[in-house]
Each structure stands twice: as C-alpha cells, then as structure tokens.
C-alpha cells in the first residue's frame, strides 16, 4: 500500500468513527477518497499538510430551531441547518433543501459534493449547503411563508453576498426563495442578491430555472458525442418530475430524443409516445399534484407504483433527477439489461457506490453528479455577477455561457481521467479535477 493510500485510509477511519451516524456523508467521502490517490502520490505536500483531514471537517455548521404557526393556530417546530463546508476558492455556495429526510448527514454529503462541483465550474465559489426537515407537501402558501420567514430570521445572521449565498434544491423553488429573500431584505434593509434562483422581477437570472436540467443535457450531449452518439431517436428515462427533471426532459425533446418515463416519490408513468412535458408542468408546477394524475389526461400512458429504475423496458439513456440513492440493489442490473449505454446524474448521488461500479464495469458511460448537474450552480454564479453589476443578461447570453461551461467541464474531467491513467472513468476525473484546485488553494492559504 502506498503512503498516500495509507494516509487516505487513516483519514477515512477517523471520519467514519467521528461521524459514524452519518451514512450519506460517509458514502460521499468514500466515493471521493477512492479516486484521489494518484494526486496524493504526485504531491506528498498535500499529505504532509493534512489536506484531507481538513477537507472532511466543515469550516462551520449552524443548526437552529425554526418555530412557526400553522393554519390551525398551532405552533410547530422544525430543525434547520447550514453547512459552510469550504471557502478556499470563494464564498460558500449551495442550495437549501426542504424535505422530511433532511438531517446533518444529508446536508453534509450535499455540502461536501458541492465543494468539488463548484470547483469544476471554474467559477470562484466555495461549497456549502443547508436545509430543513420541513415538508412543504400539503402546506398552504401562508404556512410556507411563515416557515420561510422564521427560518430566515435566524439564517440571515450567517449569510451575505461575499460570505454565503444559498439557493434552491428539493422543496425550495421560486415561491420559497421569494419568501426567504423578502424576509432577508426586511431584516437587513439591503437588496444585495444574497440568494440565487430569485424571480426575474428582482434580480433573478433568466435561465436559472432551466439551468440544471439544460446543463445536464448539454453535458450528456458532449459525453455522447465523444462516443460517436447523439440523443436523436434515443429513448430516455428521467426520474423525478421536479425542477431538474422537467427541464432535462424539455432539452432532450429539443435534441430529438424521446422521454418515455418520469416519476415522483410515489410512482412513475410510462408514456411510450413521449412524455407530454406541458402536462407534467401543469400537474407538478401549477397544481402541485401527483404524477399519477397524468394518466387521467393521457389514457395511453400507464402509472405504476414503485421505483422507475426497476421497470423492465428497452431504452438507451438514463437521467436520474430525483434524489440520493434512488439507484440501488437490483436497479443497476435492470438498467443494464434494458440496454442503457449512458447514464448521467441530474440529482446528487442518485447512484449508490455498488451500482456505480456495476454500471461502469458494464461499460455504461457514466456522468457523475458533480460534473453533470453543475449547470444550476454555474448559472447561480452568473446571477451573482449580474447582481453585482446591476445588469440583466438576455437568455441567449446566459444559455450560451451555460453550454460553454458544461462542455468545458466534460472536457476537463475526461482529460483529467486520461492524464491520471483512468481513461473513461469520468467519476474519477471529476473528483481529481475538482479536488486539485481546492487542495492547492488550501495549501497556499496556510493552516486556517
């Protein structure tokens, strides 16, 4: 075992003892550690300065109480977090998630991934993430507003346009960002663009809503092109039916692929004629309904309960866009048997470690989340630039920058994989490329 490998295992041992109750965080660290040995072999100074030991410990974690009053006049209490993970290359940047499963392990795994994703964009942004175990499903607008106001009353003490700039994630869309921003502005008396994903009326960037989904498809297109393939006439399954999924489906359609399925946390629909995206938008964005409602208006489509990745049907490209570890157990075998040759992750860590290995071993082109879903944060950073310049760019300008960023990310990770002797392993390429920039920034800033 090399000294570098020994060091990696020592740090992993330490973090897995210290954070033994954080399985998602440990999974993200393990996946990352499995790729970076070659960098440490080349640069023993990173070992000597204990860069990994410092990297796995967030610079700061804020956990706080969010009390609010529901429509029945009862007082409810939720728990919220902000993990300010690493600011070596810029202010903390990363979304807020509202979902009942949110806990410290989830926000730490998301924050850890965000460090390297943000580094890959080539923009000066550090890694952070946050969220709450509040469940927006079934809540009235008034309840969501009161919750957001209470959360921001506390969070505003720790964020700022040059310090930490939150955005949306699962359960946090334009409505929630609006309420959060309104409260921040009231308490600070300042329109300083402290959140991204804002509505266009007050500093939002055109193209931010579409950015993660469109970016995922731009990335996948570049990956397919290198393998001599395109989206044209390919059948695609997209999981989820939220922000990332909807705009990924829209772009696949523009590139003449056919999306035959999408899902929510209860089940999925198969529509072999091609998903009617406007109908999905109507159900999920306007009515905040369930995907099962789709079949009422498209009788030729079928609704199934369960996980779409276990469905047996022929298709070629998989775009998981729902949540972490949605591809686990038998799912990877089914995906391979269904004839899938490319999978790119729109969600964060949707494929568990074992499934990733299975897919890569079977020769499936694998686009890791850190790279493939970086479009959202990239356009968020463009929103920050527009806010500081007091300018609003046109859609074409933002979209063309997004395209360039996604193609550059693909090129960067694929060349890095080649350079480090793991050609075609884009997960390793993304980890190494994302890591080196942050590691050398940390090194040059001393022990802080």
Contact map string, positions 243 to 282, toward ligand NDP, x by CB under 6 A: xxx-----------------xxxx----------------
CA-nearest of 181, 195, 97 to 145 is 181
186 catalytic residue (yes or no): no
- Selected range binding ligand NDP among 34-42, 176-184, 316-324, 423-431, rule: CB under 6 A: 316-324
Residues 164-183 that bind ligand NDP (CB under 6 A): 168-171
Contact map string, positions 67 to 106, toward ligand NDP, x by CB under 6 A: ----------------------------------------
SS3 (DSSP) at 24: helix
Q: Are 82 and 159 in contact (CB under 8 A)?
A: yes
Q: Is 260 exposed, middle or buried (0-12, 13-18, 19+ CB in 10 A)?
A: buried
Residue 47 or residue 58: which is nearer to ligand NDP going by CB? Answer: 58
Pseudo-torsion of CA 240, 243, 248, 254, nearest 10°? Answer: 130
Cβ 104 to ligand NDP shortest distance, Å: 16
The site that binds ligand NDP (CB under 6 A) totals a number of residues, namely 24
- Tell whether residue 320 is a contact of ligand NDP (CB under 6 A): no
- Tell whether residue 132 is a contact of ligand NDP (CB under 6 A): no
Q: Are 352 and 328 in contact (CB under 8 A)?
A: yes
Q: Per residue in 129-158, is it b (16+ CB within 10 Å) or e — as a string?
A: bbbbbbebeebeeebbbbbbbbbbbebbeb
Cβ 175 to ligand NDP shortest distance, Å: 11
| Block residue for tokens 């080649």 | 418
Selected binder of ligand NDP within 121, 132, 183, 212 (CB under 6 A): 212
Cβ 331 to ligand NDP shortest distance, Å: 12
Residue 68 or residue 219: which is nearer to ligand NDP going by CB? Answer: 219
**Annotated catalytic residue within 129, 198, 251, 358:** 129
Residue 368 or residue 376: which is nearer to ligand NDP going by CB? Answer: 376
Q: Are 297 and 279 in contact (CB under 8 A)?
A: yes
- Tell whether residue 241 is a contact of ligand NDP (CB under 6 A): yes
Q: Are 147 and 178 in contact (CB under 8 A)?
A: no
Q: Is 256 left (phi over 0), alpha (psi -120 to 50) or beta?
A: left
Contact map string, positions 8 to 47, toward ligand NDP, x by CB under 6 A: ----------------------------------------
CA distances from 15 to 3, 29, 55, 141, 442 (A): 18, 9, 11, 41, 19
* CA atoms of 85 and 54, how far apart (whole Å): 10
Residues 332-391 that bind ligand NDP (CB under 6 A): 346-348, 373, 376
Element (H or E) spanning 219, and its range?
Answer: helix 208-226
- Tell whether residue 323 is a contact of ligand NDP (CB under 6 A): yes
Element (H or E) spanning 241, and its range?
Answer: none
Cβ 211 to ligand NDP shortest distance, Å: 7
Catalytic positions are 129
- Which positions touch ligand NDP (CB under 6 A)? 168-171, 212, 240-245, 263-266, 321-323, 326, 346-348, 373, 376
């Amino acid at each position: 075992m090399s000294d570098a490998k020994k060091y990696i295992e020592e740090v992993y041992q330490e973090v897995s003892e210290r954070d033994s109750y954080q399985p998602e965080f440990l999974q993200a660290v393990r996946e990352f550690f499995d790729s970076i040995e070659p960098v440490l072999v080349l640069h023993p100074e990173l070992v000597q300065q204990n860069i990994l030991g410092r990297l796995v410990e967030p610079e700061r974690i804020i956990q706080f109480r969010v009390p609010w009053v529901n429509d029945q006049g009862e007082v409810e209490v939720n728990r919220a977090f902000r993990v300010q993970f690493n600011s070596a290359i810029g202010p903390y940047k990363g979304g807020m998630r509202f979902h009942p499963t949110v806990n410290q392990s989830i926000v730490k795994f998301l924050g850890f991934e965000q460090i390297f994703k943000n580094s890959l964009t080539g923009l000066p942004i550090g890694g952070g993430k946050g969220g709450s175990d509040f469940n927006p499903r079934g809540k009235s607008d008034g309840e969501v507003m009161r919750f957001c106001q209470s959360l921001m009353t506390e969070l505003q003490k720790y964020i700022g346009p040059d310090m930490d700039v939150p955005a949306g994630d699962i359960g946090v869309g334009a409505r929630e960002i609006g309420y959060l921003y309104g409260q921040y502005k009231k308490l600070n008396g300042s329109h300083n663009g402290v959140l991204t994903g804002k509505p266009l009326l007050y500093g939002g960037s055109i193209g931010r809503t579409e950015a993660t989904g469109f970016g995922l498809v731009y990335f996948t297109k570049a990956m397919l092109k290198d393998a001599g393939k395109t989206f044209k006439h390919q059948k695609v399954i997209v999981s989820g039916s939220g922000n990332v999924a909807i705009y990924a489906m829209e772009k696949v359609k523009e590139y003449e692929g056919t999306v035959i399925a999408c899902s929510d946390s209860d089940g999925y629909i198969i529509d072999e004629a091609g998903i009617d995206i406007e109908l999905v938008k109507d159900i999920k964005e306007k009515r905040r309904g369930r995907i099962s409602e789709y079949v009422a208006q498209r009788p030729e489509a079928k609704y199934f309960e369960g996980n779409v990745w276990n469905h047996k049907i022929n298709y070629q490209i998989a775009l998981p866009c729902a949540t972490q570890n949605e591809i686990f157990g038998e799912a990877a075998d089914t995906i391979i048997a269904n004839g899938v040759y490319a999978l790119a992750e729109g969600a964060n860590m949707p494929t568990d470690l074992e499934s990733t290995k299975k897919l890569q071993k079977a020769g499936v082109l694998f686009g890791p989340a850190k790279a493939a879903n970086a479009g959202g944060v990239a356009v968020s950073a463009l929103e920050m630039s527009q806010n500081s310049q007091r300018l609003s760019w046109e859609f074409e300008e933002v979209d063309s920058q997004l395209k360039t960023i996604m193609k550059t990310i693909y090129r960067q990770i694929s060349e890095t994989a080649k350079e480090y002797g793991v050609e075609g392993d884009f997960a390793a390429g993304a980890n190494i490329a994302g890591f080196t920039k942050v590691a050398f920034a940390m090194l040059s800033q001393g022990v802080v």
